[in-house]
Structure 1
């Protein structure tokens, strides 16, 4: 064989190998940037920052949160680690992005609740396995990870950790969003991103690793905040604070009550004496049960004390609704529902009575509270509570994440999302029922001679009542 033949053969082998590698890369990275492009892009790309929201009512708003998660997965470099703990996954796009990340040398670790098996889970499991002791896995905690093993408890947290994504390190994302189609198309959700707080990230990884142990007995709650500014964590001064449930809670020790107790509703200006009211805006997926009742009473009391309060909910217990909407000396607390049925001819006869039932096509899955005003004696505080904790009795025994964020920019972004839902009748409805009734009232009239007399007249006035919401959960409701 001549030297020329050897050279030509070598070139052919190199070309064949290169073409084969290119085809393999193209087939693998269906939802990610190619492996050839990834290192260069990773050096420049910056992880998302702040809160992101989907919009179930608009097609272009459906997958906003999912796209941010996939974008971050796609920029994780070889040697980095992705850790995700969520209630549910059914998005093949997310699984494929994680598979591609694993094939370029990223450790992929995912914890899920044990209620659902589907194609997206199987695709990821086939790639990374299911042993939580290994470097990569997808594992379903049995009846919660850190809670007591019983039929009522769940892994309900929703957080995402990336040791590196692009030029961003120690990326943390927390909120209400699962990686499901339902979360994008039928629910309102939020996901807050932050990066660069290395101690907070280390603590979140510690929580994740503790969840991997999948305990059979309830573990103690874990609280942290990165490096506390005053030696101990304080949500009125620290940028972020975290409490990981399960956490025994009741009317004397509930974290929501502690937070609301720190809210001062009316603050007088020391110079002018002008009164400023603290503003509270609550977007809650579900409120019900004994816990829902006492938390509803607590936020209603803040309204009675002078706070400007607004509440939206996806689903509410009738008794809890009665507690929340009971009259105060200021009137009733402003209340709207995100639970809506937009397809009245879908023929969902859930109770088999021959009548098409109203079901929740759209509803909020968010669990956030915006506080703007005096908090823990700090005037003009701006903060948000988000995470996975519903205002219901079952929540406190689950794996949950309670996450607070201080800062005017973040609070304004959450408020913009809240106002967009509140002010648009496509997105929310009045939760009170208004009817009209005739009333006989006395009036004083003046005759031509200047004398006055009293007469009775009939007037028609609105009457506000609290009625049971007519909406059934339906096939799009997720009890999480």
Structure 2
């Protein structure tokens, strides 16, 4: 739960006080070592996944650390994250900065440590503390945005771009829900985008399935940098920019940045301004060969559920895995999908009270077949956005379309073999997820 918003001047003063307070405490670990000295950044797009059921918890985090460790001195790393409690990533960023890498970070205010003596409003001084790498990052990077390196925190009760009142978007305060890092140069590879579904927390590694991609692509890198600049710019506007919606083609890839405001009066009943529905519109089910696979943490947008059912009725093959924790699946969405005959509907966490429970935090949709009148497409849509109304209408979010055969194959394998729990599904069931009942 968010704590009461501080005024803009008070917040800036408090942040400066925190930076001053921390400047003389703590130090970078003297025994920090590069995680993989032999790491070479790929010059082609790559996909990676964790699998907590099989103990593969660090795959995504380790790739991010390797990228940071091998960033060229004198170049920059730019990142925007929701939560940040992973010490290994923070240590790598601190070490890279000491080695001459410029680092700029934007964090959501929920990434701040709670409590902090010079940060909380008076009535919240008894709030329960949460782990955060913010103090460590501030000690090294500071908070001065005129410098080459800094940490910036979005205003409380909102994202940096998204600033709508909570009452307008299902009583959910806007947040910076992004999860991306941009590398000016890693080894010999320039302009690398790292986009993941995972927050930088231990729970995300140990409990949840997640996905990530690394994409070396100069136009895509530039598009993300523009979005980062807009996050900084609109954070100083009283209401942010609630009608922010950018679609940026970058060769075979496309970035979709939000939040996206409705054009009418109802944010929940306007499919014409739903980005996921835009992505599903060009799907052609003729011949019954087109496949749609969805792996999603939270799903409450009924129009998206309706569209998947329509595509299934049109003879597309539709497969959906969802997280099965309370609140992740809207009851209406679940009813639409089940009534629509989506027998291939699964969940990736055990019912409450059963252990071990491995949840699904991945956020991707795969489309294989005829798309936008072109046959034999293999498209991946991933990023930070859940299929919820607040994610669409209020949060700082990114969806990334990747058109790459190897990346598609890796996601397909993740869905079919690591998540697969559908009876009779081909390839044979090997995963840990189960049919949703």
Under TM normalisation by the shorter chain, which class is it? 0.7 to 0.9
Separation (CA, whole Å) in 2 of partners of 1:325 and 1:172 = 37
TM-score by length of 1: 0.71
Q: Which of 109, 126, 147 is 2:162 aligned to?
A: 147
Equivalence for 1:279:
291
* Deviation of the 1:363 alpha carbon: 1.2
The residue matched to 1:84 in structure 2 has which SS? strand
Tell me, in whole angstroms, the C-alpha distance in 1 between the residues paired with 2:368 and 2:431: 26
Cα distance between partner residues in 2 of 1:361 and 1:245: 32
Note the 1:398-417 alignment, pairs <5 A.
398-417=395-414
Tell me if 1:383 matches 2:362. Answer: no
Q: Residues 293-332 of structure 1: matches in 2 within 5 Å?
A: 293-314=302-323, 315-327=328-340, 331-332=341-342
Label 1:172 to 1:363 Cα distance change in 2 as closer, same or farther (>3 A): same
Indicate conservation of the 8 Å contact 1:77/1:104, yes or no.
no
Q: Secondary structure at the match of 1:97?
A: helix
Q: RMSD of the alignment, in Å?
A: 2.4
Answer yes or no: is 1:64 the counterpart of 2:85.
no
Matched, 1:102 2:97: yes
Q: Which runs of 5+ in 1 are unaligned?
A: 1-24, 227-237, 267-274, 346-359, 433-480
How far apart are residue 205 of structure 1 and its match? 1.1
**CA–CA distance in structure 2, aligned partners of residues 33 and 394 of structure 1:** 37
For residue 125 of structure 1, give the secondary structure of its aligned residue in structure 2. Answer: helix
Match of 1:79 in 2: 74
Tell me the CA shift for residue 64 of structure 1. 0.2
Does the 8 Å CA contact 1:108/1:135 hold for their aligned counterparts? yes
CA distance in 1, matches of 2:28, 2:180: 30
Q: 2: distance between equivalents of 1:27 and 1:218?
A: 38
Match among 210, 213, 224 for residue 204 of structure 1:
224
Match of 1:437 in 2: none
Counterpart-to-counterpart distance in 2, 1:341 and 1:362? 10
Give the Cα separation in 1 of the matches to 2:358 and 2:366: 22
1:366 paired with 2:362, answer yes
Moved more, 77-86 or 305-314: 77-86
1:312 positional shift: 0.6
* Residues 1:129 and 2:142 are matched in the alignment: yes
C-alpha separation between the residues in 1 aligned to 2:58 and 2:342?
36
3-state SS, counterpart of residue 247 of structure 1: coil
SS in structure 1 of the partner of residue 432 of structure 2: coil
* 2:238 match: 216
Aligned-partner Cα distance in 1 for 2:296–2:388: 10
Larger RCO (CA within 8 A; separation ≥ 6): 2
Tell me the TM-score normalized by structure 2: 0.77
Aligned-pair CA distance for 1:217: 2.0
Contact 1:245 1:400 in 2 (8 A): yes
Note the alpha carbon deviations across 1:218-251, whole angstroms, 9 max, x for none: 422222123xxxxxxxxxxx41001110112422
Structure 1 ranges of 4+ moved more than 4 A: 44-48
Count of residue pairs the alignment pairs up = 361
More strand by share: 1
**Structure 2: segments with no counterpart, 5+ residues:** 1-26, 114-130, 167-172, 263-269, 422-428
